[in-house]
Structure 1
């Protein structure tokens, strides 16, 4: 099922942007749900052996998602996405940054703006990420932290989960 699915990861240092194009073998609504419903997100939004743990999520313009990446030894790294625009099931955008467990932004860590679009065609969906940074240092710090490797592993986890969601015809 994963045959011939496109994946492209590029870095535009001139404009401080990471662009990811990733195709999934599932319809647009299911892929949208996988990215926007906490019950599904917590199953795949972390590079193995890490796991995501959502503390709160309010998917609407002006809402937010506060979650932790939990490591195999129980360590937690918190992040918050503050949604600036939500257009189900086609697009969401938001401000993203590392935080404490209460959602207070850590200004010493990289911050970014995410714009994520979903384009379905039959039983495939292309997800495009445009992740922009205020300066080159924050972009480079993100890359040095292993972002490309981590997001690739995370997308592969969604690939593994989608057939199960399709079989169960899960409607969260």
Structure 2
């Protein structure tokens, strides 16, 4: 089912994405925890991600880059600020320089992911919070909302492949 709604709240300076999946909470949690699975969906289809580092602990650092259709690279970073497995993840996200070092650490996007069971499987709500209207507008103009929808739209196929693989191993 993937993304079922998006909401832009200019007062709260947030973008919210709600997605639902026909998979367990634990299984959906894995797409965040495992860097190889994260790479299969974090970037939009035309900008796939590569995680060079993914320390999935509070205080852990992640470094990644997305590669565009012409080979160009957009680099990013995360600092994980809270984990309540398998239901909640919080991290700061931003752009990096060529060496993977944050260039906007004083103005990160604060991401909060909640994962909860629903009748059809699992609901994942991802909220991106911005420090200022200017920052929010800059990232929306760069295509963040569309990119996140496209990226999250890849999770269903990833979950299905993993479930098929799991089913064939027994």
State the TM-score, normalized to the length of structure 2. Answer: 0.90
Q: Distance in 1 between matches of 2:120 and 2:28?
A: 10
Any idea what the Cα deviations from partners look like across 1:52-103, whole Å, max 9, x if unmatched? Answer: 1011011010102111111122211111110011111111101111112433
1:114 to 100, 111, 127: 111
C-alpha distance after superposition, 1:3-38 (max 9, x if no partner): xx6611111111211111111121111111012210
- What stretches of structure 1 of length at least 5 have no aligned partner? none
- TM-score with structure 1 length normalisation? 0.89
Identify the residue that residue 95 of structure 2 maps to in structure 1: 98
Moved more, 142-151 or 105-114: 105-114
RMSD over aligned Cα atoms: 2.0
Give the match's secondary structure for 1:59: coil
Q: Does 1:137 align with 2:128?
A: no
- Alpha carbons of 1:112 and 1:96: their partners in 2 closer, same or farther (altered >3 Å)? same
Tell me, in whole angstroms, the C-alpha distance in 2 between the residues paired with 1:7 and 1:123: 13
For the pair 1:9 / 2:6, whether they are aligned, the reply is yes
For 1:149 and 1:94, locate their aligned partners in 2 and report how far apart those are by CA, in whole Å. 20
**Counterpart in the other structure of 1:147:** 144
